């Protein structure tokens, strides 16, 4: 790969923060100056947001890089910080969670009630022999018990490993084995797409391969039949009968809090390890600053699943540490109909909404008239996470959901970073559609060439983090070497270049003339077309900027003439007729449109009109599978694919399509 990434697109629209919001904002531009003047002092101030049983002696120990220690000598209890202290402060009656089941059943849980539930669960785990340092697997649907289980583990110092409720027997078993977990917390099932979907049979099969598991704690959610084994215990017969009194003990700032597995492109999944004080400091601070959270009045809703890092940091730890009131929803966005999200915003008067580009593009596909049917006037801040948000999707979000009033915060971060790293601040930053803008105060991000030199403004390259940050991963569970090899060996000291340890995030990015950052997707996906490095994101955004396109995925397929050629998969918007000649005409129009927006070098060789794209459960497009199809290979690993039928349809279509060149 040559030195940098091509910078093909340009964006001139810019939206300053709303005046009223800026005037009352939690954070002003001073935060950047303070962090620049003394980064560690800045993070020490943010750590004061938390209640420490024992104050730290030192903010950061970076003497053994890349193994960081934050807030050394400090002690705190995470569950105490997320629950007890709010009750002690007299806000026990505040709603912590407005939970809505997919069938429409609801539960309202105040902080005082949450304290009771978490204490009962902590007592039960202790009775079952789970103690500090033990690992617990959590395999639950989006029900309040998921948050309760995580907090109960944190409360007793057990390390949780949440596994997506949609993952297979194999995926669950491998994760249990890798972490050597003692206990699994699961449910009989959950509601998805209007019907109960079973979880327990998957756990039964996985546990049969996992001798480390001593007990299986089962929440009754759907009431469906389950096969009962000797390790099984009902949650309602144990937790709900346990004493609601439990005193939280403090743990060391570097005590392991959770492991969360991310599937790399190759090999077994990586168990990303996060610890206590630094993680909570940054997830709490970013939740408060990036969403401008006013805990007394805001109603916050993050639509992520709890099995994704976004659910950990921005459903559980960030919001609860801040005493926020939030909505938690069990099901899918199209049940009972495609207005469900907007109906929930309307019903609970949601003021801060945090969702993913995949959902925004799906809503674009479904049509503007759906959100238009609801009262969305309560919204005041909109957030996006998970993938680059194409400028057109950003504008759609702003106009149709935010009614041109609300700022959008496009937040870049990773399972590995633990919390947000690059994002606008809603009361400070003038935002550009499609850009995550600048590193947050206290974060040192850069875009570099292959020698780790900063690219000039207007250039593209590799996104790196030059200084350690509080919520950074500490290692890959059980594999320090893989931790170093994966994240620290591409640039800097770990690569034999100089003394500084540089974290490579795996993403490409560009920095525009104003210093704003644009994420360009994973560098593994970058296409090499006639000697030019072209990012998938730029071509996808160019396609989405055509009025007939809702969503697209682009891959580089081997090509005899150009090395690689661009193959695009496109989902048309809901109202677009693609029958017969109209489909062919659209195809030609789209190829020309990309050539016009980005230049002839980026013109796709071939475009496939499709109904769906292969995505992970957290909504990321799996380009690797599309590349397999485009190059006529059989499909690689599909364990994290949300819906495998999609791939069969795409492969069929691809076989019958004629090449366009
Ligand atoms: C939080 C989360 C991390 C990868 C990351 C990047 C992509 C996330 C993004 C974004 C562009 C954003 N990503 N947020 N790309 N703009 N705002 O998603 O964690 O599941 O570990 O994924 O997601 O490629 O490297 P995770």
Q: Is residue 619 part of a domain?
A: yes
State the chain's mean pLDDT as an integer.
Answer: 94
Percent of the chain at pLDDT > 70 equals: 97
Q: Are 392 and 361 in contact (CB under 8 A)?
A: no
Burial label, 482 (beta-carbon count in 10 A; 0-12, 13-18, 19+): middle
Q: What HEC string does 566-583 produce?
A: EEEEEEECCCCCCCCHHH
What local confidence, expressed as pLDDT, does residue 12 receive? Answer: 87
What local confidence, expressed as pLDDT, does residue 660 receive? Answer: 38
What local confidence, expressed as pLDDT, does residue 10 receive? Answer: 81
What local confidence, expressed as pLDDT, does residue 85 receive? Answer: 98
User: Which residue minimizes the CA distance to atom 15 of ligand 1?
Assistant: 387
State which of 249, 268, 300 marks the end of a domain: 249
State which of 211, 229, 249 marks the end of a domain: 249
Question: For residue 403, how far is the Cα from the chain centroid?
Answer: 25
What local confidence, expressed as pLDDT, does residue 655 receive? Answer: 67
User: Which residue minimizes the CA distance to atom 8 of ligand 1?
Assistant: 386
Three-state secondary structure call for residue 529: strand
What local confidence, expressed as pLDDT, does residue 617 receive? Answer: 80
Which atom of ligand 1 is least distant from the CA of 618? 20
Q: Is residue 256 part of a domain?
A: no
Sign of CA dihedral 276, 279, 285, 289: negative
Where residue 122 sits, what CATH number does that domain have? 3.40.50.980
Q: What is the pLDDT of residues 134-184, one digit of tens each?
A: 999 999 999 999 999 999 999 999 999 999 998 899 999 999 999 999 999
For 388-502, list the strands marked E by DSSP.
Answer: 408-410, 445-448, 460-465, 475-476
What local confidence, expressed as pLDDT, does residue 374 receive? Answer: 98
Neighbour count for residue 281 (Cβ, 10 Å): 29
pLDDT band for position 656 (cuts 50, 70, 90): low
Give the pair of three-digit tokens for residue 443. Answer: 């974060």
| 413, 460, 525, 623: residue to mutate for ligand 1 pocket, most atoms within 8 A of CB | 413
Where residue 646 sits, what CATH number does that domain have? 3.30.300.30
User: Which residue minimizes the CA distance to atom 11 of ligand 1?
Assistant: 388
Which atom of ligand 1 is least distant from the CA of 384? 17
**Residue 221 and residue 175: Cα distance in Å, rounded?**
24
What local confidence, expressed as pLDDT, does residue 266 receive? Answer: 57
**Residue 270 and residue 331: Cα distance in Å, rounded?**
28
Q: Is residue 64 part of a domain?
A: no
What local confidence, expressed as pLDDT, does residue 634 receive? Answer: 74
Neighbour count for residue 504 (Cβ, 10 Å): 21
What local confidence, expressed as pLDDT, does residue 444 receive? Answer: 97
pLDDT band for position 642 (cuts 50, 70, 90): confident
Domain count for the chain, please give it.
Answer: 2
Q: What is the pLDDT of residues 54-95, one digit of tens each?
A: 999 999 999 999 999 999 999 999 999 999 999 999 999 999
**Residue 569 and residue 429: Cα distance in Å, rounded?**
34
Structural domain of 156: 105-249
**Residue 561 and residue 165: Cα distance in Å, rounded?**
45
State which of 217, 249, 281 marks the end of a domain: 249
Neighbour count for residue 515 (Cβ, 10 Å): 9
Q: Is residue 595 part of a domain?
A: yes
DSSP string, 144-155: HHHHHHHHHHHH
Q: What is the pLDDT of residues 374-407, one digit of tens each?
A: 999 999 999 999 999 999 999 999 999 999 999 9
* pLDDT at 409 > cutoff 70: yes
CB neighbour list of residue 205: distance below 8 Å, 6 or more residues apart: 169, 173
Q: What is the dihedral of CA 509, 510, 515, 516, to 10 degrees?
A: -60
Q: Is residue 560 part of a domain?
A: yes
What local confidence, expressed as pLDDT, does residue 2 receive? Answer: 42
Which residue is listed with tokens 């730890």?
317
Q: Is residue 212 part of a domain?
A: yes
* pLDDT at 258 > cutoff 50: yes
pLDDT band for position 263 (cuts 50, 70, 90): confident
Q: Is residue 579 part of a domain?
A: yes
What local confidence, expressed as pLDDT, does residue 658 receive? Answer: 46
**Residue 241 and residue 239: Cα distance in Å, rounded?**
5
Rounded (10°) angle between helices 277-290 and 39-47: 90
Percent of the chain at pLDDT > 90 equals: 89
Mean pLDDT of 208-237: 98
Which atom of ligand 1 is least distant from the CA of 436? 17
User: Which residue minimizes the CA distance to atom 16 of ligand 1?
Assistant: 388
**Residue 430 and residue 514: Cα distance in Å, rounded?**
11
Q: Is residue 50 part of a domain?
A: no
Q: Name the β-bridge partners of 328.
A: 99
Give the pair of three-digit tokens for residue 116. Answer: 């009771």
Q: What is the pLDDT of residues 583-594, one digit of tens each?
A: 999 999 999 999
Burial label, 417 (beta-carbon count in 10 A; 0-12, 13-18, 19+): buried
User: Which residue minimizes the CA distance to atom 10 of ligand 1?
Assistant: 387
**Residue 637 and residue 650: Cα distance in Å, rounded?**
17
Which atom of ligand 1 is least distant from the CA of 415? 21
């Amino acid at each position: 790969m040559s030195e940098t990434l091509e910078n093909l697109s340009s964006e001139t629209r810019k939206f300053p923060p709303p005046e009223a919001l800026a005037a009352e904002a939690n954070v002003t531009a001073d935060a950047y100056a303070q962090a620049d003047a003394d980064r560690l002092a800045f993070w020490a101030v943010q750590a004061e947001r938390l209640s420490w049983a024992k104050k730290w002696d030192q903010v950061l120990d970076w003497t053994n890089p890349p193994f960081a220690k934050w807030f050394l000598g400090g002690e705190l209890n995470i569950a105490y910080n997320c629950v007890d202290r709010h009750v002690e402060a007299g806000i026990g009656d505040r709603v912590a969670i407005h939970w809505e089941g997919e069938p429409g059943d609801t539960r309202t849980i105040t902080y005082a009630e949450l304290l009771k539930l978490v204490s009962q669960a902590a007592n039960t785990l202790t009775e079952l022999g789970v103690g500090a340092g033990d690992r617990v697997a959590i395999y639950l649907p989006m029900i309040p018990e998921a948050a309760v289980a995580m907090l109960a583990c944190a409360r007793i110092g057990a390390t949780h490993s949440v596994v997506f409720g949609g993952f297979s027997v194999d995926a669950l078993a491998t994760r249990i084995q890798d972490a050597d977990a003692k206990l699994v917390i699961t449910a009989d099932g959950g509601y998805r797409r209007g019907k109960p979907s079973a979880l327990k049979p998957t756990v039964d099969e996985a546990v049969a391969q996992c001798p480390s598991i001593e007990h299986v704690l089962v929440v009754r959610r759907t009431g469906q039949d389950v096969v009962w084994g000797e390790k099984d215990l009902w949650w309602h017969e144990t937790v709900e009968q346990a004493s609601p009194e439990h005193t939280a003990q403090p743990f060391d700032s570097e005590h392991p809090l959770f492991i969360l597995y991310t599937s790399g492109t190759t090999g077994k999944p990586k168990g990303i390890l996060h610890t206590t004080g630094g993680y909570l400091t940054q997830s709490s601070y970013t939740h408060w600053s990036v969403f401008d959270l006013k805990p007394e009045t805001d109603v916050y809703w993050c639509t992520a699943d709890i099995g994704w890092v976004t659910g950990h940091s921005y459903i559980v730890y960030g919001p609860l540490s801040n005493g926020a009131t939030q909505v938690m929803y069990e099901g899918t966005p199209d049940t009972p109909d495609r207005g469900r999200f907007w109906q929930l915003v309307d019903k609970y008067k949601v003021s801060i909404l945090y969702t993913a580009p995949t959902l925004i593009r799906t809503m674009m596909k479904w049509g503007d008239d759906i959100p238009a049917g609801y009262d969305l006037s309560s919204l005041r801040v909109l957030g996006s996470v998970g993938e680059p948000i194409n400028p057109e999707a950003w504008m759609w979000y702003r106009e149709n959901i935010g009614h041109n009033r609300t700022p959008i915060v496009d937040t870049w971060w990773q399972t590995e970073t633990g919390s947000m790293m690059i994002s606008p601040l809603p009361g400070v930053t003038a935002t550009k559609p499609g850009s995550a803008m600048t590193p947050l105060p206290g974060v040192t991000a850069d875009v570099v060439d292959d020698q780790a030199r900063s690219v000039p403004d207007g250039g593209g390259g590799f996104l790196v983090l030059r200084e350690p940050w509080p919520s950074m991963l500490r290692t890959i569970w059980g594999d320090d070497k893989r931790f170093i090899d994966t994240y620290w060996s591409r640039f800097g000291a770990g690569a034999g270049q100089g003394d500084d340890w540089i974290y490579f995030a795996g993403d490409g990015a560009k920095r525009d003339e104003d210093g704003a950052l644009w994420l360009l997707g994973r560098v593994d996906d970058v296409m090499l077309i006639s000697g030019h490095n072209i990012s998938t994101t730029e071509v996808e955004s160019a396609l989405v900027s055509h009025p007939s396109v809702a969503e697209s995925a682009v891959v580089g397929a081997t090509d005899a003439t150009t090395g690689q050629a661009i193959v695009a998969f496109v989902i048309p918007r809901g109202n677009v007729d693609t029958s017969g000649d109209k489909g062919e005409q659209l195809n030609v129009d789209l190829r020309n449109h990309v050539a016009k927006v980005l230049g002839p070098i980026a013109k796709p060789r071939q475009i496939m009109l499709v109904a769906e794209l292969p995505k992970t459960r957290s909504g990321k497009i799996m380009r690797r599978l599309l590349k397999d199809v485009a190059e006529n290979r059989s499909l690689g690993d599909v364990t994290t694919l949300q819906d495998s039928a999609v791939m069969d349809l795409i492969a069929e279509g691809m076989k019958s399509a004629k090449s366009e060149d």
